Structure 1
Amino acid sequence: MSDFSFDRLRRFPDVEADNLFAVDASDRLILDEAAGALAEAGAGEVVVLEDRYGALTLGAAALHAVRGIRVHQDVLSGESALVRNAIDAGLSDTYRSLDVGEELLANARVVLVQLPRSLAALDEIADAIRRYAAPDVVVIAGGRIKHMTSAMNEVLGRHFAQVHVSPARQKSRVIKAASPIPSAVQSAVSIWPQSVVHGDLGLTVCAHGAAFAGATIDIGTRYLLEYLDRMKPDARSAIDLGCGTGVLAAALARSRPTLRVTATDQSAAAVASARATMAANSLGDRVTVLRDDALQSQPDASAELIMLNPPFHIGSSVHAGIALKLFEDAGRVLQQGGELWTVWNTHLGYRPALTRLVGPTRQIGRNAKFTVTVSTGR
């Protein structure tokens, strides 16, 4: 019997704070609603999607004796937290992590899902389950009521003939889906990633469902693009930190053919999207796309130029911690005299933090919503 307690689960290496939690009531509700299905499932027939820090995976293993669990987490810090929490609970041999696809979902009979914020992400997940899982698969997807909408039922209803909503408990709710709609009725081919041609920029942007802003270009990124030609003109290499779909990396690589560009993001969907964006713009041999938690894989004082449009959400919580983590790592990786170009919502007031964590920071531009700064490495 493993030494398992929900209370021992940690978010590390993700941001930790008093108001940020590794487990909540929706995790417990999903596991309770799935108890009967988990009891009947055989080894290797359970899949967990978007488990934040391991509560679903380790709860299924410890409380329901499930083995051979297949797991996909979009966020790398969550995947790393699951590894650490599994070691602590003595459950490392109960699961394996995989990318979204046939290997993850083939013949799955029970799928547990923490509902993603994005309807597009849910649509891609549901489509993959429909195409690859067993015909008798049961999907138990849950979340906090304040983050759920009726549109989630409609998305699941596009892929499953049966969709039922559970009664609420502790401000959480579960949606159960079953009877996947066969490919004879639904498309057998995934529509993901989707792509949009942005003629004004001369770029094709590709996006998987969980990628921020989808195949559009968010207004912060558009504003930072206005300063592309001013970003350390003598740089021989550059990093697009938190690259999303890879717009900044693609635009910079196209404008400077001799520059070596690396694009990093901790989201698996973002990395897959950025690689597709590079391929669509014939930049696959000029831009290296990596899945990384901030810049952990990059050596100290190794970057001449870093571009950053930082998120201000951690999951569903508005929190400055993720931006500060990115600033700190950028400061570590930036060479003396190197430049970090950042765009941020003006009301967030990041300039003092950038000066403290990176180096002298000056404002380069400001519009009605955003500020662009350049920080020089110490």
Structure 2
Amino acid sequence: MTSEFSFDRLRRRPDVEAANLFAVDASDRLILAEAATALAAAGPAEVVVIEDHYGALTLGAAALAGARGIRVHQDALSGELALAANAAEVGLAGGYRSLDLGEELLTSARVVLLQLPRSLSALDEIAAAIARFAAADVTVFAGGRIKHMTPAMNEVLRRHFGDVTASLAAQKSRVLTASTPLTADQVGGNAVASEWPHRAVHADLGLTVCAHGAAFAGTTIDIGTRYLLEFIDRMKPEVQTAIDLGCGTGVLASALARARPALHVTASDQSAAAIASARATAVANGVAGRVTVVRDDALARQPDASAELIVLNPPFHIGSSVHAGIALKLFEDAARVLKPGGELWTVWNTHLGYRPALNRLVGPTHQVGRNTKFTVTVSTRR
């Protein structure tokens, strides 16, 4: 154990950092406190951490409870990179492995620490995987801030575990403890709902959307993306390559590839669930050969001045906080990657007023569409 370990040393980088954004919160501490006895009894490689925001659970379990061989899954690449940076900072870089959600992550796990995702679908996919692959005596300590928790989370866990209890509230946080995983026979009718990815056909658009639990909007097509789809034919003509930045389930990437048979599209997102969904969506729409899906922190893997066309429906939340920082980061990276004369097509909630930032960061920006909620702009790289 590392007695000198301090949560105060942890940072969010490469995610956006600001005075009102934190790398650790009370729910991290409460999860570790509720799991302390179980962590002390766990052997090497019996502890799994899921959806650790920036490393507090993983590094806390290693430093304060002596857990070794921790296996970790974080949907957000920014969280994975922050954990790596924080682990190096506190001298615990060799104490864990990052893995996809699945059998390798969970086999023989007896203690699972989980930051509850906001999405019930994400929780369902996680809980189903734990119940399927972890040890029969596994205990899940799933915590979060009370303002983000709902009774429906208990019900999702009860689909997959025979025993679910709730802790007392502490510092506006609470922990749900789940044990006695149900077998496939016991899950019964819930088994079909817990098979991922889900799939939906949108006949009006001629698109099939596939989605894993943590993918934004699931198998629906959010209204901002729907609006941007109306402008596909007007986007920079005769380009050979394009990027769907923050691709989510890959709707824009697959739609572009279907509309332009000569086009190759790179679909990029930091979410593991998003890239798995986007790959499945490309296959379902017959364009997998022309859509390359990559997990990336913004466009870090793309060379400068290499793209002719980028499409973007930027998020305006960082976790549970409304914050413009993530959109500005995406605009900056798009500017770096666009060739001179290349175009960035963006849809955004009109009240956010992104046009001055796009003018400043990318280049001359003009409005090409506006409805009651959204604005679509095209920015041309200087």
CA deviation after TM superposition for structure 1 residue 129, in Å: 0.3
CA deviation after TM superposition for structure 1 residue 260, in Å: 1.2
- The aligned runs of 1:30-179 (5 Å cut-off) are 30-179=31-180
Instruction: State the one-letter code of the partner of 1:303.
Output: A
CA deviation after TM superposition for structure 1 residue 307, in Å: 0.1
1:33, 1:249 → 2: CA distance? Answer: 43
Deviation string, structure 1 residues 198-227 (Cα, Å, up to 9, x no partner)? 111111100000000000000000000000
Q: Normalising by the residue count of structure 1, what TM-score does the alignment of the two structures yield? A: 0.99
1:183, 1:43 → 2: CA distance? Answer: 28
Question: 1:235 maps to which residue?
Answer: 239
Question: 1:197 maps to which residue?
Answer: 201
Equivalent pairs counted in the alignment come to 378
Instruction: State the one-letter code of the partner of 1:363.
Output: Q
CA deviation after TM superposition for structure 1 residue 59, in Å: 0.1
SS in 1 for 2:186: coil
2:295, 2:5 → 1: CA distance? Answer: 30
1:94, 1:225 → 2: CA distance? Answer: 45
CA deviation after TM superposition for structure 1 residue 182, in Å: 1.1
Instruction: State the one-letter code of the partner of 2:235.
Output: M
Question: 2:305 maps to which residue?
Answer: 301
SS in 1 for 2:141: strand
Question: 1:14 maps to which residue?
Answer: 15
Instruction: State the one-letter code of the partner of 1:191.
Output: E
Question: 1:184 maps to which residue?
Answer: 185
CA deviation after TM superposition for structure 1 residue 328, in Å: 0.5
Instruction: State the one-letter code of the partner of 1:250.
Output: S
SS in 1 for 2:208: strand
> Which of these residues, 278, 281, 285, is aligned with residue 277 of structure 1?
281
CA deviation after TM superposition for structure 1 residue 6, in Å: 0.1
SS in 1 for 2:187: coil
CA deviation after TM superposition for structure 1 residue 184, in Å: 2.0
Question: 2:369 maps to which residue?
Answer: 365
1:191, 1:44 → 2: CA distance? Answer: 27
Question: 1:334 maps to which residue?
Answer: 338
Per mean C-alpha deviation after superposition, the further-off stretch among 183-192 and 18-27 is: 183-192
Moved over 4 A (4+): 187-190
| Runs (5+) with no aligned partner, structure 2 | none
Deviation string, structure 1 residues 4-47 (Cα, Å, up to 9, x no partner)? 21000000000000000000000000000000000010000000
1:70, 1:282 → 2: CA distance? Answer: 35
Instruction: State the one-letter code of the partner of 1:240.
Output: D
- The aligned runs of 1:309-320 (5 Å cut-off) are 309-320=313-324
Q: Normalising by the residue count of structure 2, what TM-score does the alignment of the two structures yield? A: 0.98
2:126, 2:361 → 1: CA distance? Answer: 38
SS in 1 for 2:20: coil
CA deviation after TM superposition for structure 1 residue 161, in Å: 0.7
CA deviation after TM superposition for structure 1 residue 186, in Å: 2.1
Residue 230 of structure 2 is aligned to residue 226 of structure 1: yes
CA deviation after TM superposition for structure 1 residue 50, in Å: 0.1
1:217, 1:184 → 2: CA distance? Answer: 33
2:223, 2:231 → 1: CA distance? Answer: 14
SS in 1 for 2:280: helix
SS in 1 for 2:288: coil
2:5, 2:245 → 1: CA distance? Answer: 36
SS in 1 for 2:239: coil
Instruction: State the one-letter code of the partner of 1:242.
Output: G
Question: 1:264 maps to which residue?
Answer: 268
2:215, 2:185 → 1: CA distance? Answer: 29
Give the aligned CA root-mean-square deviation in angstroms: 0.9
Residue 29 of structure 2 is aligned to residue 25 of structure 1: no
Deviation string, structure 1 residues 262-313 (Cα, Å, up to 9, x no partner)? 0000000000000000111111111000000100000011100000000000
Question: 2:329 maps to which residue?
Answer: 325
Deviation string, structure 1 residues 333-361 (Cα, Å, up to 9, x no partner)? 11110000000000000000011111110
> Which of these residues, 272, 291, 316, is aligned with residue 287 of structure 1?
291
2:264, 2:124 → 1: CA distance? Answer: 35
2:86, 2:219 → 1: CA distance? Answer: 35
